[in-house]
Amino acid sequence: MDSSRPSGLGPFTSRQWSLLAGAYAFGCATLTALVLSDVLGLFAEVIGLPTAISLPLLATPALVAGTGVWWALVERRGAVTYVRGAAFGLFTALLTGGVWTARFVSVWSVKMLTAGPVPLLVGFVLGAVAVAGVLVGLPFTYARRRARRRSDAAATANSL
């Protein structure tokens, strides 16, 4: 993969697409956190996050996870498929949820994770973000595929 970007408004490099994927995952995770704000607000309070910024803070691991997962599944392999895009969203969402579940366990212990309705709430949130992750991975994949087609067409035209 070429890591240098041509001058002007040329195509993004693989590294830049990976960073964009992380930013996109963060934005989508923030929106998902807003949709699930009743449950996640309570969760944030329980693990000691500041209430005012808890929802974007909950989405922050998606920035790092999204960048790494997109690079590992799509850019490194050079295969921009919708299945890989859906997997990007799913794994990013589950890694983000896993980070916060681990934080919960570090604050309250594994025993609390199995008490009362907590497993149901954790399962609901992880299930909801997994579905959201799959769905939000597809539009980004579409954008990447479209950009790749345009850059391939431009390269072909330039070589003629």
Query: Quick check: is 2 in a domain?
Result: no
Q: Is the pLDDT of residue 83 over 90?
A: yes
- Gap between the Cα atoms of 73 and 104, Å rounded: 28
Query: Quick check: is 5 in a domain?
Result: no
Please tell me the predicted confidence (pLDDT) of residue 88: 98
Tokens standing for residue 75? 């850019």
Query: Quick check: is 64 in a domain?
Result: yes
Query: Quick check: is 160 in a domain?
Result: no
Question: Angle, to 10 degrees, between the axis of helix 37-46 and the axis of helix 54-70?
Answer: 100
Q: What percent of the chain has pLDDT over 90?
A: 65
- Gap between the Cα atoms of 21 and 72, Å rounded: 12
Structural domain for 141, as ranges: 14-155
Q: Give all strands (DSSP E) within 24-130, no chain letters.
A: none
Query: Quick check: is 7 in a domain?
Result: no
Query: Quick check: is 4 in a domain?
Result: no
Query: Quick check: is 41 in a domain?
Result: yes
Please tell me the predicted confidence (pLDDT) of residue 7: 43
- Gap between the Cα atoms of 17 and 8, Å rounded: 17
Q: Is the pLDDT of residue 1 over 70?
A: no
Question: How many structural domains is the chain composed of?
Answer: 1
Please tell me the predicted confidence (pLDDT) of residue 160: 67
At which residue do the structure tokens 């604050």 appear? 107
At which residue do the structure tokens 């950009």 appear? 147
Judge whether 129 and 135 are in contact, CB under 8 Å: no
Least reliable range by pLDDT among 19-23, 51-55, 66-70, 131-135: 51-55
Higher pLDDT, residue 137 or 51? 137
pLDDT digits (tens, 9 = 90+) for 115-152: 889 899 889 889 988 999 999 999 999 999 999 888 77
Query: Quick check: is 151 in a domain?
Result: yes
